[in-house]
Amino acid sequence: MKSERSKLPVILILVILLSTGVTACTKKDKPKPEEPGPGNSVKSWVTTGDRAQLLAAGREISFISSVPAGQAVLRIDTAITYQEVEGYGAALTGSSAWLINRKLTPQTRQALLNELFDPEAGIGISYLRLTMGASDFSLSDFTYNDLPAGQTDFGLNNFSLSQDRDDVIPVMKEILQISPDLSILGSPWSPPAWMKTNGKLAGGKLKTDCYPVYAEYFVRYIRAMAEEGITIDAVTIQNEPLHFTANYPCMQMQAGEQLQFIKNNLGPVFAAEGISTRIITYDHNWDRPDYPITILDDPDARQYVAGSAFHAYAGDVSAMGTVHQAHPDKALYFTEISGGAWATDFAGNLMWNMRNIFIGTARNWSKNALLWNLALDENYGPQNNGCNNCRGVITINSVTGEITRNEEYYAIAHFSKFVRPGARRISGNLPQSAGDAGVVAFQNADGSKVLIAANYSGDAVGFAVEQGPQIFTVNLPATSVTSFVWK
């Protein structure tokens, strides 16, 4: 009897379902949720101005079928493409290389270099700037052809990379083991003193009769580094050619002088010698876009020039856009800015770097973004008669070997780890209704999409992202930067 009574409720439920037109279905027949487009989810990494999150992996964001009503929409169009990315990073100065090579144990050095240059295990720095000879962050003044006063060497018989072999070349070789496709830019602070009008490394100009030998000096550098297994992808002619009153190696080179050197010497010599290293002009602040335009306006000089490089110590990032408008077929590069003790607010520095250096330069056609010293010590050095309070991307304590990752580290990381060389900037504009935020979008060569969004305000910001059939919503914490990646 008990078994017969237990069947009654089941029969009764079936009768009710049939009589009301509701049919039962098995688990196998249950409809699947609607999938709005290809791909599974969006991954995110966030850094907040209060340091509560530092390149921290956020929750994965699911795609949705439609934009929520009333929400601001960022539309990304992969069919509209802009410049190709070459990489993100900093300068491996003599000081940086010395600290990494001399103040860390081999195990710590290897771990640090893996963290800096491996995109999977670390942040994937993909572009470095090297100083051709000494800079204001070297252990001493030197070039690759130093001679006693009054002597000359037009045959460059005494050319030598000997001082770079102490630290720069060994560290570079270790880096290239981790990142063999790393791009490298070489920039001189001064020619050898015997080539200059004042006979000194600081100040002066390049003697006109030394234009040919200085062009050959570049060739020797590129070939000597190649013999060490280090490919110099590009060179600038002169670091900060309009800043020539410093106490460290520097030189005045006006636009007309650089034009003549490129047109009559460096360009033809590179062509004759089969040097594929690209020539980049200017390498100074945003406040003088007329300088590179003057050179690019010359039809004979421009044939040898790949593009123009900028620093951010004066002027506005829009200057790079001005040069692009004048010469859209020539590349743009951002090659130097430093943080320092004059600006110690983590949040403010992070936001400034996003607005101007990383998002700002990318949206003004830059193919890269490089900060200044990759590493400095706890006393902002070693210094060579230059900036006495510049901050490195990382700080290496010269006594303990302790490593501190500064705000510049995280600014680089939000781009270098996710936007890989060969990526293309793609269309993506955030409406003003979304609040005080900045964005830039890319598509990597593997098809993955990257959106970097910075919330400059003190309040959280939310908006929807629409890329083809894929839609997702984001909420940016106050004063933060987030990198979003999806297929």
Tens of pLDDT, residue by residue over 5-37, are 333 333 333 333 333 333 333 333 333 333 334
Domains 41-82+426-486 and 86-421 share a fold: no
> What is the bridge-based pairing of β-strands 461-467 and 470-476?
antiparallel
Q: Which CATH number fits domain 86-421: 3.20.20.80, 3.30.565.10, 3.30.300.30, 3.40.50.11540?
A: 3.20.20.80
Q: Compute the distance between CA of residue 471 and CA of residue 483 in angstroms, rounded to an integer.
A: 16
> Which residues are marked as active site?
240, 336
Q: Compute the distance between CA of residue 148 and CA of residue 194 in angstroms, rounded to an integer.
A: 9
Residue 301 has pLDDT above 90, yes or no: yes
Task: Specify the pLDDT at position 39.
Answer: 56
Residue 388 has pLDDT above 80, yes or no: yes
**CA-closest candidate to residue 208, choices 269, 253, 245:** 253
Task: Specify the pLDDT at position 40.
Answer: 83
CB burial of residue 446 (10 Å; 0-12, 13-18, 19+): exposed
Q: Which CATH number fits domain 41-82+426-486: 2.60.40.1180, 3.60.20.10, 2.60.40.1120, 1.20.120.610?
A: 2.60.40.1180
Mean pLDDT of 136-143: 98
DSSP letter, residue 433: G
Mean predicted lDDT score pLDDT of the chain: 93
Mean pLDDT of 439-445: 98
Q: Model confidence at 321, in pLDDT bands (50, 70, 90)?
A: very high
Residue 1 has pLDDT above 80, yes or no: no
148: left (phi over 0), alpha (psi -120 to 50) or beta: beta
Percentage, residues of the chain above pLDDT 70: 92
Residue extents of the structural domains in the chain: 41-82+426-486, 86-421
Alpha-carbon dihedral of residues 281, 283, 287, 291, nearest 10 degrees?
A: -20
Residue 260 has pLDDT above 50, yes or no: yes
Question: CA separation (Å) from 453 to 102, 410, 446, 485?
Answer: 38, 14, 21, 11
Q: Compute the distance between CA of residue 325 and CA of residue 305 in angstroms, rounded to an integer.
A: 16
Kindly give the residue spans of alpha helices, DSSP state H, lying in 198-328: 211-227, 255-261, 267-273, 290-296, 299-302, 318-326
Peptide bond into 382 cis (omega under 30): yes
Q: Model confidence at 310, in pLDDT bands (50, 70, 90)?
A: very high
Rounded to two decimals, the pTM is 0.92
| Residue pLDDT, tens place only, 342-355 | 999 999 999 999 99
